[in-house]
């Protein structure tokens, strides 16, 4: 049976970067609510008794998309996966409780990065729309000029929205980190090392899970 890995960390901590590599090297499904929501930004959620009619309205403001929407996405994705690495969920205590009710976890990892570094990483993040590869204006640019020229910035990676996302993280998601820490299952990883060194720690933890 494939492993069930949960990767926690603030926005910009490196969850996407590490999850992609983990998924490849350990043959796991990469389940990420952020990507799933971005692919369905304009889906009609009006029937769900939510404040806004689409995920876009929440995402562009840096707020959490309602639990009923994301819980459904995660349930569907996990039921189709053998082993998985889950990234971007749960983001509040209710989602954490829902997750406990639908699956079990083999390891819970937390990438620890300071707020100052998070802002630098998020505002400099760039994406390749063709490959979904993640880059950074200062820390990691592609050598190929053609790739460099087609890179895009996410709508919500602007300074103002980044501040709001970090506030939402502190209020809603830090309690989730505390929850797993209290349970004694949280493995904390220094997320400020180079991507390769972070991956070494991540892979060691997953290996022994
Ligand atoms: P990052 O890891 O950079 O914060 P994500 O791609 O995980 O960004 O999420 C982008 C946006 O998608 C969030 O700001 C939020 O609006 C929405 N989102 C993603 N995952 C969830 C979730 N589990 N619950 C609620 N909203 C979510
Ligand atoms: P998350 O999914 O947690 O929001 P990402 O994996 O998208 O984070 O990384 C955010 C930004 O930081 C990206 O631009 C990425 O290239 C960069 N980044 C990721 N890991 C590191 C690292 N260890 N050192 C420096 N920059 C990094």
Report field, pTM of the whole predicted structure over 0.75: yes
Ligand 1: atom nearest CA of 9 is: 2
Q: Is residue 120 part of a domain?
A: yes
Task: Tell me the per-residue pLDDT of 20-70, one tens digit each, with 9 for 90 and over.
Answer: 999 999 999 999 999 999 999 999 998 888 889 999 999 999 999 999 999
Q: Is residue 33 part of a domain?
A: no
Pocket test for ligand 2, best of 6, 14, 20, 191 (most atoms within 8 A of CB): 14
Cβ partners under 8 Å of residue 183, min gap 6: none
Report the CATH number that the domain containing residue 190 is assigned in CATH.
Answer: 3.40.50.300
Q: Is residue 134 part of a domain?
A: yes
Q: Is residue 154 part of a domain?
A: yes
Task: Tell me the per-residue pLDDT of 112-150, one tens digit each, with 9 for 90 and over.
Answer: 999 999 999 999 999 999 999 999 999 999 999 999 999
Q: State how far the Cα of 124 lies from the Cα of 137, in Å rounded to an integer.
A: 5
User: Which among 82, 79, 75 has a CA at the least distance from the CA of 90?
Assistant: 75
Q: State how far the Cα of 63 lies from the Cα of 85, in Å rounded to an integer.
A: 23
Give the residue numbers marked as catalytic: 15, 91, 125, 154, 165
Pocket test for ligand 1, best of 16, 18, 37 (most atoms within 8 A of CB): 37
CA of 64 to the centre of ligand 1 (A): 7
Give the number of domains in the chain. 1
Ligand 2: atom nearest CA of 9 is: 3
């Amino acid at each position: 049976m494939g492993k069930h890995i949960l990767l926690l960390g603030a926005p910009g901590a490196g969850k996407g970067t590490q999850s992609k590599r983990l998924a490849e090297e350990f043959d796991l499904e990469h389940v990420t609510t952020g990507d799933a929501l971005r692919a369905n930004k304009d889906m009609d959620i009006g029937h769900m008794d939510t404040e806004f009619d689409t995920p876009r309205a929440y995402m562009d403001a840096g707020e959490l998309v309602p639990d009923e929407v994301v819980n459904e996405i995660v349930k569907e994705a996990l039921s189709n996966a053998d082993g998985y690495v889950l990234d971007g969920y749960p983001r509040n205590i209710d989602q954490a409780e829902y997750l406990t009710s639908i699956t079990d976890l083999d390891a819970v990892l937390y990438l620890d990065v300071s707020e100052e570094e998070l802002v630098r990483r998020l505002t400099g993040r760039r994406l390749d729309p063709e490959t979904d590869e993640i880059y950074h204006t200062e820390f990691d640019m592609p050598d190929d000029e053609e790739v460099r020229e087609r890179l895009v910035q996410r709508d919500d990676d602007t300074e103002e929205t980044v501040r709001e996302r970090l506030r939402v993280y502190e209020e809603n998601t830090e309690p989730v980190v505390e929850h797993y820490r209290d349970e004694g299952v949280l493995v904390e990883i220094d997320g400020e090392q180079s991507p390769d060194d972070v991956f070494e720690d991540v892979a060691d933890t997953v290996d022994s899970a």
